[in-house]
C-alpha cells in the first residue's frame, strides 16, 4: 500500500515504519499544546483519567515528581518517566519521542541500580 506525494512523483509505503513515524509527528503537531501530546502519551502508559488529572498542569507538577525520584516500582516510575520526558522536551529541547527515550533509559538505569 502506498500514498502519492501529491505531485505524481514518489510514493511512500503506508505500511512502512518511516510512514508511521511521519504520521506520529504530524499527529503531535495537530495538538494545540505540548501538554496535550503528553496527556495522550500518558494514556499509552496506562494512566487513568483521574491519575492524569493529578499530573496537570505538567509545567507545575513535573519538578516535584522528579524530586520524589524514580521509586522502586513500575507504577511509581511511570509518573517519573512522564515528568522527566516533559523536562527533557521543554527544557532540553528534545522531541517528544527523544524525551521519552531519555526518560525511560534513565528510569531503567535507576531501577536496576
Task: Give 4's contacts (C-beta < 8 A, 6+ positions apart).
Answer: 11
How large is the angle between the packed helices 74-92 and 58-68, nearest 10 degrees? 130
Residue pLDDT, tens place only, 35-87: 999 999 999 999 999 999 999 999 999 999 999 999 998 889 999 999 999 99
Instruction: Sketch the domain layout of the chain as residue ranges.
Output: 1-30, 32-112
Burial pattern 42-63, b for ≥16 Cβ within 10 A else e, equals beebebeeeebeebeebeebbe
- Distance between CA 27 and CA 65 in Å, rounded? 27
Answer for the pair 81, 100: CB distance below 8 angstroms, yes or no. yes
pLDDT tens-place string over residues 2-12:
554 555 556 78
State the pTM of this model: 0.82
Amino acid at each position: 500500500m502506498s500514498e502519492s506525494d501529491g505531485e505524481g512523483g514518489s510514493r511512500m509505503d503506508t505500511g512502512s515504519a518511516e510512514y508511521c513515524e511521519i504520521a506520529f509527528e504530524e499527529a503531535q503537531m495537530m495538538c494545540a499544546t505540548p501538554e496535550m501530546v503528553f496527556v495522550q502519551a500518558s494514556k499509552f502508559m496506562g494512566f487513568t483519567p483521574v491519575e492524569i488529572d493529578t499530573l496537570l498542569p505538567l509545567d507545575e507538577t513535573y519538578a516535584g515528581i522528579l524530586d520524589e525520584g524514580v521509586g522502586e516500582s513500575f507504577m511509581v516510575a511511570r509518573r517519573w518517566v512522564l515528568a522527566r520526558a516533559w523536562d527533557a522536551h521543554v527544557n532540553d529541547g528534545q522531541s517528544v519521542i527523544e524525551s521519552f527515550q531519555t526518560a525511560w533509559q534513565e528510569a531503567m538505569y535507576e531501577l536496576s541500580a
